[in-house]
Amino acid sequence: MSALNVSRILDIDLAPEGHLAIDWARRHSPLVDGFLRDRLSDGALKGRKVAVVVHLEAKTAFLATVLADAGAEVVVAGSNPHSTRDEIAAALVDREIEVHSVRDSGYQAWEKDLLSVTETAPEFIIDDGAELTIRMATHRPDLFAELKGVTEQTTTGVARLMALAERDMLPFPALAANDALCKHLFDNRYGTGQSTIQAILNLTNMLMAGKTVALLGYGWVGRGIAAHIRALGGTAWVVEIDPVKALEAFMDGHQVGNLSSSLPMADFVITATGGRRALSREHFALMKDGAILANAGHHDLEIDVEALADDAKSFRIVRSGIDEYVLPDDRSMLVLANGALVNIAGGLGHPIEIMDLSFAVQGVGCHELARGEVAEGVHVIAPEVDSEIAAAKLHFHGIHLDKKESHQEDSIDDLLGPEV
């Protein structure tokens, strides 16, 4: 049976445009196209069922094609109902890869798509937010028990996997790809930092210089966003509940405050907490007229758009990707990309070179799971594998590192002297 007959996509005729985007991603993905392909050439994934549930755009699609080229039976869905690129989904199906995803089809349809993926009984999952993993545990515990392993892309997803493990509900190995150095040091900081600010400025056609930005959360994502705000001439007011992270933001040169001090002056408000309802009903009253709200965290619920809609006396779309809610006191709140991840739902996602690193980590993780190299529980890929990935990236850029010479080692024997 062809992939088209078992897939749910918008329109197969969009495939030519999708092929161009995937080919462009391949051109700038030397790790996935080289290092990972070489790693998978041992046949460990041949005939194995792999579900890829990550934001469905060109870089994700290219990873799926590399896994399929290695002999895996791949099925793909989006990890968010707002982020799928329909032309990319069509191109994958045209390449005989099963896909269940249509952009902006709503949460119920998205849930059904994820359940359709569970019915394919995957052995391995490359997940984002543990969205598929959690649904298999909830709706198909029989298939969940048969899983051979999961690799997880996000801070939120790793927390969910850890919670499952703490409840003795994780009967297979899981790799926290998010915690690998080659992922969070680059993807979360440089990738989300750049793509979030790019998306906000592209959607609004506004200038960052001179703007005040209330930034909720100072994890690796928050660090990256704050750095890009400052680089473009804006001022980040960091809101944190963790004293150590707040102190770090202060030492990094940013302003630090709480919600009541930061929100009233903010031109932009960006959520990057990884939790739910970081901005809720009581916070909207603190914001000035015309405040622009954007979400850079995993959950679409970081901004409580539903509460904002309930409170508003009117609503209209003022520009593609920008919704205006007018409150009873005539203050206007502007929400970007429906409160979904602004860099993906309102932009093109992370730069290709960043996802080349992240997907190399995810692909290698899947390979390690297929080889049976990972014990039950939640783990991070071995440090030496992280180093291999970084070295391969440097090699592509023509950078070759020296090694420590034996005479440079600091040995305790040199301090103790010869035996007496």
- pLDDT for 278-307, tens place per residue? 999 999 999 999 999 999 987 778 999 999
- Whether the pLDDT of residue 415 is over 80: the answer is no
The structural architecture, per CATH, of the domain 3-183+351-396 is 3-Layer(aba) Sandwich (3.40)
CB 337 within 8 A of CB 203: yes
CATH superfamily of 190-345: NAD(P)-binding Rossmann-like Domain (3.40.50.720)
CA dist 153 and 182 (Å) reads: 12
> What pLDDT sits at residue 414?
64
User: What would the DSSP string read from start to end of 20-35?
Assistant: HHHHHHHHT-HIIIII
- Higher pLDDT among residues 299 and 126, named by residue: 126
CATH 3.40.50.1480 boundaries in the chain: 3-183+351-396
Lowest mean pLDDT among 4-8, 273-277, 359-363: 273-277
Q: What is the mean pLDDT of the chain?
A: 94
> What pLDDT sits at residue 404?
78
- Entry pTM: 0.87
> What pLDDT sits at residue 197?
97
Report residue 333's pLDDT band, with 50, 70 and 90 as the boundaries.
very high
Give the torsion through C-alpha atoms of 192, 198, 203, 209, to 10 deg.
Answer: 120
- Residue closest to 61 by CA, chosen among 34, 94, 31: 94
CA dist 102 and 7 (Å) reads: 10
CATH 3.40.50.720 boundaries in the chain: 190-345
- Residue closest to 314 by CA, chosen among 295, 331, 296: 331
Per-residue pLDDT tens for 98-121? 999 999 988 899 999 999 999 999
CA dist 15 and 89 (Å) reads: 8
CB 151 within 8 A of CB 366: yes
> What pLDDT sits at residue 294?
97
